[in-house]
Amino acid sequence: MVLDLFTTLKVVILVLISAPTARSQENGTMGIENNLQETLFKTYNRYMRPVKVYSSKVPIGIRFYLLSLQELNMKMQTLHTATWLEVMWTDEYLTWNSSEFSNIQYLRLPADIVWVPSICNIQEISGKRCLTYGSVADTSSEVLVDSFGKVVLGEAIKSTIICSLNAQKFPFDSQICSFEFFSYYNYVFGTDIDINQSIFQTEYFAESEEWDLVSSSKKKMAKMGYNNIIIMSVVLRRKPLFPTLTLVVPIIALSIMNVFCSVLPIESGEKVGMSMALFLTFAVFGSILSDEMPKNSRNISWFMVYVTIQIIVSGLNVVVETIVLRLYHLEVRYMTMNPVLVEMASDTVTSMKETSFNELKMKTDSIDRTRTHLARKWKHWAKRLDRGFMILNICTSVISFCVCASMIMMN
């Protein structure tokens, strides 16, 4: 018991003795770092090029991290992403001998007190298009500086870029979107983006529910009068299961129903109603697709073409079935409106007193035979028209499906 108490008192005494020493060492380190910053920024001017020989160029490296894909808007042709951008360069005025400052290797500083290059993303439309003096002040960005003068500026950016989308193979399409970086004042200030120091990282990419990240690439090219544009591209492939189940399968099912609508017997009286219902359903799906597709005429979706063909066929089906029913039931119209039959019936009534019963019966039978013959003739033509349009409907549906499917699956 006494031994434990003695050990506890010994530990407390050692802590009390060592605490001032640790505090003095910490204050000493803080003082040295403060002296280092005062030495570096005593004559530093952030608006001067960070080279001691003015004719020297300032090579700039870019590390671009694609973190997540928030939305790929087909209609607006924009890509919304969450990214992390690191810009690296060497500032010859921010170097020191670490051995003279207690081996301090790095300094963490506000970005608005050092020189920063002007880097722009050509495709950006969200407002955060360029990295400038004003932008780093607005975002309270920071830089990490090492003793050799290497400066790393990092910023998290919610990026929205223009992406020219090709919807021809929807819903089995792949899209290529690019981030194009260039130094705006490269000719004036001698800044140049070095592709060897630039990296496009996708290893931290969070999986998207709608798109798969297939590949990424970078290249340097001349564009818009600039010869040091770094293009970082991603290839995205749509996950087709959801649009297939919600759009493709229902439309194909409606196309089959559109064909079998012609199989219904004319006597049922349901042909026009079913045709109209199918036409309206196709129109609804066409409206849904048009809201999703980009409004341009260069890359029309083959699936949209197929749906449009089915809408046209379904509309023609309504018209043809109306004509077929009209022809099929034309005998009623014929009996009530045909002047020849009306006249024959009138003559029969007036001559009933002058002719015998046999002659009247012969005239009546002749009228009935004429009416029956004409009715059979119109019904025959109605059935032929219905059968012919059914064959045309089947051929159109099969050919349009095969052509559109082959164009979608073609590499």
Each residue of 39-59: pLDDT tens digit? 899 989 998 888 888 778 888
> pLDDT confidence of 6, banded at 50, 70, 90?
very low
- Quote the crossing angle between the two packed helices 330-337 and 357-409, to the nearest 10°: 140
111 and 70 co-located in one domain: yes
Give the separation between CA 116 and CA 195, rounded to whole angstroms: 19
Give the separation between CA 111 and CA 155, rounded to whole angstroms: 10
286 and 331 co-located in one domain: yes
Q: Does 340 or 178 have the greater pLDDT score? A: 178
Residue 98: CA atoms inside 13 Å, Cβ hemisphere, count?
10
- Which segment of 154-168, 260-274, 297-311, 312-326 scores lowest on mean pLDDT? 260-274
Those residues with Cβ within 8 angstroms of residue 302's Cβ, 6 or more apart along the chain or in another chain: 168, 169, 170, 404, 407, 408
Check if the beta carbon of residue 50 is closer than 8 Å to that of residue 189: no
Q: Which domain holds residue 302?
A: 242-409
Q: Which one of 218, 239, 260 terminates a domain?
A: 239
pLDDT tens-digit readout, 244-268: 999 999 999 999 888 888 777 777 6
356 and 271 co-located in one domain: yes
pLDDT tens-digit readout, 180-197: 998 877 665 667 888 888
Q: Which one of 239, 273, 288 terminates a domain?
A: 239
Token pair recorded at residue 98: 């670490």
pTM above 0.85?
Answer: no
265 and 206 co-located in one domain: no
273 and 301 co-located in one domain: yes
Q: Which one of 239, 261, 277 terminates a domain?
A: 239
